[in-house]
Structure 1
Amino acid sequence: MSNIFDYLDWRGDLTLDQSPFNAVDNLILSCVSYIRFEGIVPNSTVAVSITKAFARFSALPEEEQKLRLRVDEDGHLLRKLAQSRRFSDMGLCLYDDQLDPILEKQFCGLTILTGDGLAFIAYRGTDNTLVGWKEDFNMSFKTCIPSQTEAAEYLKHAAGSLGAIRLRVGGHSKGGNLAVYAGIHCGAYLNRIEAIYSNDGPGFPAEVLESSSYQAVSGRICTFVPQTSIVGMLLEHAEDYTVVHSKQIGIAQHDPYSWEILGPDFVCLESVTAGCRFMDETVKVWVDDMSPEEREQFIDTFYDILSVTQAQTVSDLAHFSLKNARAIKQTLENTDPKTKKMMTEAISKLLDAAKDSFHTLLPHKKASE
């Protein structure tokens, strides 16, 4: 089956005048936000074409190029876009990239002038940093995380800087959540938003979905999840979502390059898988069974344990050493009894939630059988 790259091969020569902006274009531009454009795209309304951005990126030393990419496919995507009639002249501007371990904030916003009279505001999803993943987990006990606040401010700043141009807003993973959050809190600029795209992005607490500000924007939200979505099923969604077929399995379906495409649209399915429903139910039961304070303590303790390895990224954790193992062991031994008890109980609750979800979702036989 085909993916983003096949789409660019087959339809990359069609301008937006010939074939209007679609959901696949949204996913592509959301992926562009993962590339680190420091020194390439300015944090101003002076736009740099994708062609020029690729040329500047290519001029960097090879090792630096690798450091600026989340995955190799992102670099391949930038090259394909620069060669594409559909995307090459799109302008990149207002690049704002922030990483603050103290505030536990990982944020990046990028504005893309698509050439059809609109701008696409793309929010980066969770990157490879432990800070980024920690901020995601913080959503389980906080009604607002720092990157959400930044996203709302970024949208208002971009909208105010670009004049009366209409907007599309989107992102992948946490970026999809940020796009929705920004739309909820953009005030008067809401009238200029044509659509908000969440590509396997986490949802929100129930109180957010019940708010009048969410209701005002909900009709413009387009949510896409793969058939065994895990990240996109976190927290709650009130809007309908479209299930996209991924060629991967399990958590790997979160990879946007695995989403299958046919013509100008995704290959869609009627519903998510039983495995997805199992994970969704398990996590919801587990989270509901802990107070916000317990969730915070569990996540903070888990993060502290990982931090003793001196790892800055998830990739760093893959290079596990005996020294790291000793550091983690020492940290666990030094953890106070109360915290140890809390961690044990939290893990026990997770196992209980999984067992309950399994029995709930398991088809029941009729009494006559």
Structure 2
Amino acid sequence: MSSLFRYIEACGSLSPSEAMLSGADFLLLSQLAYADFPESAATFGDALEGALLLPPSPRRFGFEHKNDRRLIAETAKSRRFSALAFLGFREKFDAEGACQFAALALQWDEETAIVAFRGTDQSFAGWKENFMLAYRSPVPAQALAVSFVAEIAERFHGSLILCGHSKGGNLAVYAAAFSEAPVRRRVREVVSLDGPGLSPADARRAEFLEIRDRVRVYIPRASLVGLLFENPPGSVYIRSRAPALQHYPYMWRIEGCDFVPVGAPTRFNAYLARTLRRFVCGMPPEMREAYVEALFKVVSSAESESVPEMLKVWRKSVPRVLGATLGIDRETRRLFRRVFWIFLRAASGRMT
């Protein structure tokens, strides 16, 4: 049984006043942000019941649908979450514009609202937007995150806590840092759950430095995602039950009502993260953009919009992708070679 389900069993009967917010609470809310909700509802329980009536997202794998729907149903019955006021849900998906965004907001108590941002789904648009973090700021989802937080801040006048898993963690940090100053001052805490950090340029800006001490980052010990780009120092490393699925929230270890901490990331993952950062920083932004465009030009030859969709027709999609790679133009091949050598130099620089 997933630790998230055990957490609901152990702590779901505790009201917000009976137990302080924990990392497990933020993980649960961030995981629920992968579901689609009605835009408005009186309580979070009503919104969760509404989510069960909506068709499952085609951009999620079947095993994720099963776990997500069970988590929705069990959270809807819990005393801890069901009676919370629901402040809204927003979602935007634009395959052409490489935009994949969703967020929900609820009122935790009289003084605090929580905004949970969705991470990357299995759409190619979502993955392309992830890659765009390497050369563009803001990406579309980051701009939408700032807008949604401003909307919630206008309707709710207390403190704000922003959280998210994967890219959702990046959106939470970005929205906290680059909201208007009056909103930024109301952000009490930011929780990034294995989310990539900000770009080096954004991490040096005064707005981020103002909120940096309010950012809490949780990273499974052998995960790579949360080590990418620039997260603040002091990340908390935690245990996951699945060596090959460290990023997957349902595998994170929870004992009692919180995560199980460990001392540090694995040496290999720390090395790999440093190598990737050196790799990205070694390319000028225009080369990063050209590389991403070339990569997704090849991926688009599969004529699918998501990984699950492509895998359903893999006998057709895989040969198309391979054919596109073989038929790639000389300039793009040269670009791939240059990127490959930059990566090798970055890796060898650490080994010497």
Query: Which residue number corresponds to residue 268 of structure 2?
Result: 275
Q: What does the per-residue CA deviation read over 1:307-343, in whole Å, with 9 as the maximum and x for residues that have no partner?
A: 1111111212323534324433442344221111111
The more displaced of 268-277 and 183-192 is 183-192
Q: What does the per-residue CA deviation read over 1:199-236, in whole Å, with 9 as the maximum and x for residues that have no partner?
A: 11111222222221111111111111110121111112
Structure 2 vs 1, CA of residues 109 and 321 (structure 1 numbering), >3 Å: closer, same or farther?
closer
C-alpha displacement at 1:186, in angstroms? 1.6
Q: What letter corresponds to residue 214 of structure 2 in structure 1? A: R
Is 1:257 paired with 2:255?
A: no
Is 1:297 paired with 2:297?
A: no
CA contact (8 A) 1:122 1:175 kept: yes
C-alpha displacement at 1:118, in angstroms? 1.5
- Aligned partners of 1:94, 1:315: CA distance in 2, in Å? 28
Query: Which residue number corresponds to residue 65 of structure 1?
Result: 56
CA contact (8 A) 2:238 2:260 kept: yes
Is 1:5 paired with 2:10?
A: no
CA contact (8 A) 1:36 1:69 kept: no
Q: What does the per-residue CA deviation read over 1:234-260, in whole Å, with 9 as the maximum and x for residues that have no partner?
A: 11223321001111114x111111111
Q: What does the per-residue CA deviation read over 1:134-159, in whole Å, with 9 as the maximum and x for residues that have no partner?
A: 00001111232111111111111110
Structure 2 vs 1, CA of residues 58 and 152 (structure 1 numbering), >3 Å: closer, same or farther?
closer
CA contact (8 A) 2:240 2:246 kept: yes
- Aligned partners of 2:255, 2:97: CA distance in 1, in Å? 42
- Aligned partners of 2:212, 2:49: CA distance in 1, in Å? 39
Structure of larger gyration radius: 1
Aligned CA-pair RMSD: 2.0
- Aligned partners of 2:288, 2:57: CA distance in 1, in Å? 35
Structure 2 vs 1, CA of residues 351 and 19 (structure 1 numbering), >3 Å: closer, same or farther?
same
* Alignment of structure 1 residues 107-146 onto 2, 5 Å: 107-146=101-140
Q: What letter corresponds to residue 41 of structure 1 in structure 2? A: E
The more displaced of 75-84 and 338-347 is 338-347
1:213 to 207, 213, 234: 207
- Aligned partners of 1:8, 1:139: CA distance in 2, in Å? 34
Structure 2 vs 1, CA of residues 54 and 143 (structure 1 numbering), >3 Å: closer, same or farther?
closer
What secondary structure does 1:335 align onto?
coil
Q: What letter corresponds to residue 69 of structure 2 in structure 1? A: G
Query: Which residue number corresponds to residue 319 of structure 1?
Result: 312
C-alpha displacement at 1:119, in angstroms? 1.1
1:185 to 178, 187, 207: 178
Aligned length: 348
* Alignment of structure 1 residues 217-236 onto 2, 5 Å: 217-236=211-230
1:197 to 158, 172, 191: 191
> Gaps (5+ residues) in structure 1?
361-369
CA contact (8 A) 2:35 2:51 kept: no
C-alpha displacement at 1:345, in angstroms? 2.7
TM-score by length of 1: 0.88
Q: What letter corresponds to residue 32 of structure 2 in structure 1? A: V
C-alpha displacement at 1:54, in angstroms? 3.4
C-alpha displacement at 1:2, in angstroms? 6.8
- Aligned partners of 1:78, 1:85: CA distance in 2, in Å? 13
Q: What letter corresponds to residue 170 of structure 2 in structure 1? A: N
C-alpha displacement at 1:355, in angstroms? 4.6
C-alpha displacement at 1:87, in angstroms? 1.0
CA contact (8 A) 2:215 2:232 kept: no
Structure 2 vs 1, CA of residues 324 and 87 (structure 1 numbering), >3 Å: closer, same or farther?
same
Query: Which residue number corresponds to residue 363 of structure 1?
Result: none
CA contact (8 A) 1:90 1:113 kept: yes
CA contact (8 A) 1:171 1:178 kept: yes
Query: Which residue number corresponds to residue 30 of structure 2?
Result: 30
Q: What letter corresponds to residue 147 of structure 1 in structure 2? A: A
Query: Which residue number corresponds to residue 353 of structure 1?
Result: 346
Query: Which residue number corresponds to residue 367 of structure 1?
Result: none
Is 1:308 paired with 2:306?
A: no
The more displaced of 140-149 and 218-227 is 140-149
- Aligned partners of 2:321, 2:249: CA distance in 1, in Å? 33
TM-score by length of 2: 0.92
Query: Which residue number corresponds to residue 337 of structure 1?
Result: 330
CA contact (8 A) 2:3 2:250 kept: yes
The more displaced of 343-352 and 116-125 is 343-352
CA contact (8 A) 1:308 1:327 kept: yes
- Aligned partners of 1:329, 1:145: CA distance in 2, in Å? 29
- Aligned partners of 1:172, 1:96: CA distance in 2, in Å? 17
Q: What letter corresponds to residue 316 of structure 1 in structure 2? A: E
What secondary structure does 2:56 align onto?
helix
Query: Which residue number corresponds to residue 364 of structure 1?
Result: none
Query: Which residue number corresponds to residue 242 of structure 2?
Result: 248
C-alpha displacement at 1:352, in angstroms? 4.5
C-alpha displacement at 1:67, in angstroms? 4.1
- Aligned partners of 1:279, 1:174: CA distance in 2, in Å? 19
C-alpha displacement at 1:66, in angstroms? 6.0
C-alpha displacement at 1:116, in angstroms? 5.0
- Aligned partners of 1:53, 1:67: CA distance in 2, in Å? 20
- Aligned partners of 1:68, 1:87: CA distance in 2, in Å? 26
Structure 2 vs 1, CA of residues 102 and 345 (structure 1 numbering), >3 Å: closer, same or farther?
same
